[in-house]
Amino acid sequence: MSLIPVTILTGFLGSGKTTLLNRILTEQHGRRIAVIENEFGETGIDNELLVQQDGEQIVEMNNGCICCTVRGDLVRILGELAERRAGGKADFERVIIETTGLADPAPVAQTFFVDDDVGANYLLDAIVTVVDARHAPQQLDEHHEAQEQVGFADRILMSKTDLVSDEEAAALAQRLRRMNPRAPVAPVHFGQAPIADILDVRGFDLDAVLAIEPGFLTETEHDHDDDIGSFVYRAQRPFDPERLEEFFGGVLQLYGPDLLRYKGVIAVAGMERRVVLQGVHMLMGSEPGAPWQRGEPRESRIVFIGRKLPREILELGLDHALVPAH
**pLDDT one-digit tens code per residue, 116-159:** 888 899 988 999 999 999 889 988 988 888 888 998 888 999 99
Domain that holds residue 179: 4-197
Exposed (0-12), middle (13-18) or buried (19+): which is 250, by Cβ within 10 Å? Answer: exposed
**Domains: count for the chain:** 2
Please check whether residues 62 and 93 belong to one and the same domain: yes
In a domain, 204, yes or no: no
184 with 252, same domain: the answer is: no
Residue type at 155?
A: R
In a domain, 238, yes or no: yes
At 263 the pLDDT is: 78
Write down the pLDDT at residue 64.
44
* Same-domain status, 72 and 137: yes
DSSP, collapsed to helix, strand or coil, labels residue 286 as: strand
**Residues 115, 239 share a domain:** no
Residues 128 and 275 in one domain: no
**Domain annotation covers residue 98:** yes
Separation of alpha carbons 213 and 185, rounded Å: 13
DSSP 206-244: TTSPP---GGGGG----S---SEEEEEEEESSPBPHHHH
- Amino acid letter, residue 49: L
pTM for the full predicted model:
0.65
**Res. 28 pLDDT band, cuts 50 70 90:** low
User: Could you say which of 147, 168, 197 is where a domain stops?
Assistant: 197
> What gap in Å lies between CA 147 and CA 159, rounded to an integer?
16
Per-residue pLDDT of 51-94, as tens digits, reads 333 333 343 333 444 444 433 367 888 888 899 889 888 778 88
Cα separation, 178 vs 68, in Å, equals 36
Same domain, 130 and 16: yes
Q: Give the Cβ contact number of residue 320 at 10 Å.
A: 13
The pLDDT confidence band at residue 110, using thresholds 50, 70 and 90, is confident
Residue 20 buriedness (CB in 10 A; 0-12 / 13-18 / 19+): buried
Shared domain for 267 and 170, answered yes or no, is no
| Residue 326 lies inside a defined structural domain of this protein | no
Asked whether residue 208 is domain-assigned, the answer is no
| Dist. CA 220–CA 83, nearest whole Å | 52
CB count in 10 Å sphere of residue 218:
6
The answer to the question of residue 263 being in a domain is yes
The top-scoring range by mean pLDDT among 98-107, 113-122, 240-249 is 240-249
- First-to-last alpha carbon distance for the chain, in angstroms, is 49
Verify that 160 and 220 share a domain, yes or no. no
